[in-house]
Structure 1
Amino acid sequence: MPTVLPESIDRRWARAIILIDMNAFFASVEQLDDPALRGKPVAITNGDQGTCIITCSYEARAFGIHTGMRLPEARQRCPALIRITARSSRYAEMSARIMSALQAITPDIEVFSVDEAFLDVTHVQRLHGAPPVIARQVQRLVREVSGLPCSVGVAGDKTTAKWAAKQHKPEGLTVVSPWETAARLHDVPVTELCGVGRGIGGFLASRGVRTCGDMSRLPVSVLAQRWGNIGRRIWLMAQGRDPDPVSCGMAPPKSVGHGKVLPPATRDVQLLQHYLEHMAQKVAARLRGNGLEAQQLFIGLRTDAGWLGGRYLTPRPTDDGQPIAALCRQVLQKVWQGEGVHQVQVTALDPVQADIQLDLFADQAAPRRQAINRAVDRINRRFGTQAMSTASLLGRVPLHDVIAPAWKPEGIRRTV
């Protein structure tokens, strides 16, 4: 853990952002709940038959195991690896507890994902002390309410705080004060910053920008012409001047989707159809649960060559899984030629508030379907999200819940 200079402890910051990053969150929850797993290599997969690791403990990471690795390869590296089926509801419950407790520090909180949150502590320094002092308080609070470790980054902007939180894990505390940010980031590759992927990184490298220090030599107009406001923000991010505020509100969803990573090179047409239908039903249930409906959907199958499928329309806006599943079957018949499929995805691209006005030309069976859907939703809310499903899915595919990257403690993104 880096030494915090006395100046950074006593000096009040003009802007102060803290990023908490839960350490190996899902695996840490499992080790917390089952003491027999502590100190052992643990890998989490979605479902009992899951082969893709969604996270793993630090004991497993010591063997080179990482998120996205297939279970057979992981077991070659670590024969003693313990596979655990993900318990999404438990992780969501623990995350909500942590996020709620952080309100005691500041009301200005942006839940970035199920295991990360930004806190703007600019206006609570008089109450709690300087940002490094608040950061230690945050770590203690998280440990008290959850029993889990977290790493913390403190900086004058969101991007630098997120970078800082990843520098010392597990349970590290990294402080980058605003007056030293440029020097600390100078030799950091731009691709280490959140949001700067391979595409943007390649664009920058072709113009001589490989580190954050190189960015100041590139006119901001070069990025602005290519990516508009996003380009301008990236230019500022690399210099420790990310202007993006901590957003406490939650914007209406731009999409509602579900996907499933499949065993490598899946070619069983019935299995693909069942998984697509499962995704369709999950999307429809989320739309209904939040009073939304959609007409435009992305339906895709990922192969070695890329995605098959695209954007498609249902006859009218809907929150019913039946027409969405029917559209999935049509797409599968038209675009799939027997290629090995690694992932399926169904996403509603235009969710809007459901129109309660009756459609003169709607299917006459629609009211009955709506009543059935509401009954199924009530049963699943009471007995579990998979307590009742369509007959075509029962016993055909392993059904389990997952946590979306954009999960939030409340609202539409609370759904797992």
Structure 2
Amino acid sequence: MGHGDGRGRIVSSADADDTGTSILHVDMDAFYAAVEVLDDPSLRGLPLIIGSPDGRSVVSSASYEARRYGVRAAMPVSQARRLCPSARIVPPHFHRYHEVSRQVMAIFESFTPLVEPLSVDEAFLDVRGVRRLWGSPARIAQLVRERVQDEVGITCSVGVAATKHVAKMASTISKPDGMLVIPASDTQAFLDPRPVRTMWGVGPKAAEALEGRGIRTIRDIRTSSREMLDRAVGPALSARLAELARGEDPRTVETERVEKSIGHEETFDTDVTDRTFLRAELLRLADRVAARLRRAEWETATVAIKIRFDDFRTLSRSQTLPEPTAVGQRIGEAAQALFDQIDRRDPVRLVGVRAEKLRPAGGGGFGLWDDDEDWRRVEGAVDDAVARFGTATISRARHIGRGEGRGAAQHPKAHGLD
């Protein structure tokens, strides 16, 4: 398997057997770093860290040259600089990444209408219906790689398989700038020796729980009893992992993706111990989340918060609401209640609020009494003012004079190393 820095990559030959395959997973290689090199060729071949150089930010991404020193996404930039003192620190340019992403996605859609973007730098393609136009899945994968390189100027890696899960695993193993084809008949042989941590959807905590019971490979998952898996990761996840370990994945490529969550988070210039201020910031972030929900005509059924302390330990808490809502006051109150349940009083460097389990607005209607009617009217007036005059025209009185979070560094999306 690959190691995130290109070591141990496995690739297929151009004439690889792709019998029974129909799904491609295409993943850009070190996308943020690649775009920076595209715009400034003098950076090519250098260890790059994408992040703010102020020392309090975290790594958004890194070039493969930097990864070989142990630099990883979400690592404090200060730590990354200690690991790789020769690295160049490049501030992120998110608008540019989205611009290049649109170019890449347009190439995908020129091959097949069945494209499911997972993020700005990766997507699934279902190519079963376009073989007469373009050739076999492996051939299409080659053409995709060539066109991304020729037309955009960056590289990508492609996994070709019978299922989404195996295709995603294959693209990861082939990085960077590679292609790995897993014919349907080889699916089990491909999966069995892989570590449980390579499975799509297995996070560090689930991996530790499995490994603590001697379940270290996908073969171990496949041959373990359901009772043992249930005890390790719970019934829902254990059922899913058992299915994937057998090579079974009924998920299809979905061209219309529903946004699963909306959130905002904020990193302070200096660590904060004032809990009154932190509660106010949670309410401010909740207002921003709610405004986005209303613009998209969504409501949230679950509110989650993230609190990162000065030692970088991060706590997350979530709460299911009695009724779905897009009212900032209601989301803020839930966020504050979750914060109040945290006993730790150490200085805080980051707070975040996220709306999860989204659903179309108004799906449940209103009851006989609408407790949020007044707040709904107030926030609707705020939305109108913002639409007419811009975001800086109106705010809660308690936020006036604080700016956007007292020198906060905004992170619109958290990424793993690509």
> Do the aligned partners of residues 359 and 233 (structure 1) sit closer, same or farther apart at CA in structure 2, a change above 3 Å counting?
closer
- Are the equivalent residues in 2 in contact too, given 1:320–1:370 (CA < 8 A)? no
**1:122-271 matched pairs, under 5 angstroms:** 122-205=128-211, 208-219=214-225, 223=229, 227-228=234-235, 230-251=237-258, 253=259, 255-260=261-266, 266-269=272-275
Aligned-pair CA distance for 1:267: 3.0
**1:89 equivalenced with 2:98 (yes/no):** no
Listed as ranges, the gaps of 5+ residues in structure 1 are: 407-416
The C-alpha deviation readout for 1:250-279, integer Å capped at 9, x for no partner, is: 24x454323345679653547635643442
> Do the aligned partners of residues 333 and 161 (structure 1) sit closer, same or farther apart at CA in structure 2, a change above 3 Å counting?
closer
> Do the aligned partners of residues 187 and 348 (structure 1) sit closer, same or farther apart at CA in structure 2, a change above 3 Å counting?
closer
**Who is 2:109 aligned against?**
103
SS in 1 for 2:410: coil
**Who is 2:319 aligned against?**
311
- Are the equivalent residues in 2 in contact too, given 1:300–1:310 (CA < 8 A)? no
**Who is 1:42 aligned against?**
48
Pick from 69, 79, 89 the counterpart of residue 73 of structure 1. Answer: 79
Question: In structure 1, how many angstroms separate the alpha carbons of the residues matched to 2:13 and 2:267?
Answer: 43
**1:52 equivalenced with 2:58 (yes/no):** yes
Pick from 25, 30, 38 the counterpart of residue 31 of structure 2. Answer: 25
Instruction: Name the amino acid aligned to 2:92.
Output: A
Question: In structure 1, how many angstroms separate the alpha carbons of the residues matched to 2:111 and 2:138?
Answer: 13
**1:370 equivalenced with 2:376 (yes/no):** no
Question: In structure 1, how many angstroms separate the alpha carbons of the residues matched to 2:242 and 2:338?
Answer: 41
The C-alpha deviation readout for 1:160-219, integer Å capped at 9, x for no partner, is: 211211223321112222222322333221221111234443454466532223344335
- Are the equivalent residues in 1 in contact too, given 2:266–2:410 (CA < 8 A)? no
> Normalization by structure 1: what TM-score?
0.79
Question: In structure 2, how many angstroms separate the alpha carbons of the residues matched to 1:240 and 1:172?
Answer: 23
**Who is 1:347 aligned against?**
354
Pick from 6, 15, 22 the counterpart of residue 16 of structure 1. Answer: 22
SS in 2 for 1:36: helix
**Who is 1:398 aligned against?**
408
What percentage of aligned pairs have identical amino acids?
A: 32
The C-alpha deviation readout for 1:29-57, integer Å capped at 9, x for no partner, is: 12212333333222222696752111112
Structure 1 range deviating more: 30-39 or 263-272: 263-272
Aligned-pair CA distance for 1:19: 0.9
Instruction: Name the amino acid aligned to 1:307.
Output: L
**Who is 2:11 aligned against?**
2
Question: In structure 2, how many angstroms separate the alpha carbons of the residues matched to 1:364 and 1:62?
Answer: 56
- Are the equivalent residues in 1 in contact too, given 2:48–2:66 (CA < 8 A)? yes
Question: In structure 2, how many angstroms separate the alpha carbons of the residues matched to 1:47 and 1:388?
Answer: 32
**Who is 1:412 aligned against?**
none
Q: How many residues align?
A: 397
> Do the aligned partners of residues 170 and 266 (structure 1) sit closer, same or farther apart at CA in structure 2, a change above 3 Å counting?
farther
Instruction: Name the amino acid aligned to 2:408.
Output: P
> Do the aligned partners of residues 261 and 210 (structure 1) sit closer, same or farther apart at CA in structure 2, a change above 3 Å counting?
farther
- Are the equivalent residues in 2 in contact too, given 1:88–1:401 (CA < 8 A)? no
> Normalization by structure 2: what TM-score?
0.79
Aligned-pair CA distance for 1:290: 0.6
> Do the aligned partners of residues 219 and 336 (structure 1) sit closer, same or farther apart at CA in structure 2, a change above 3 Å counting?
closer
Question: In structure 2, how many angstroms separate the alpha carbons of the residues matched to 1:122 and 1:67?
Answer: 35
SS in 2 for 1:122: coil
Question: In structure 2, how many angstroms separate the alpha carbons of the residues matched to 1:101 and 1:5?
Answer: 20
- Are the equivalent residues in 1 in contact too, given 2:53–2:89 (CA < 8 A)? no
Instruction: Name the amino acid aligned to 1:374.
Output: D
Structure 1 range deviating more: 150-159 or 197-206: 197-206
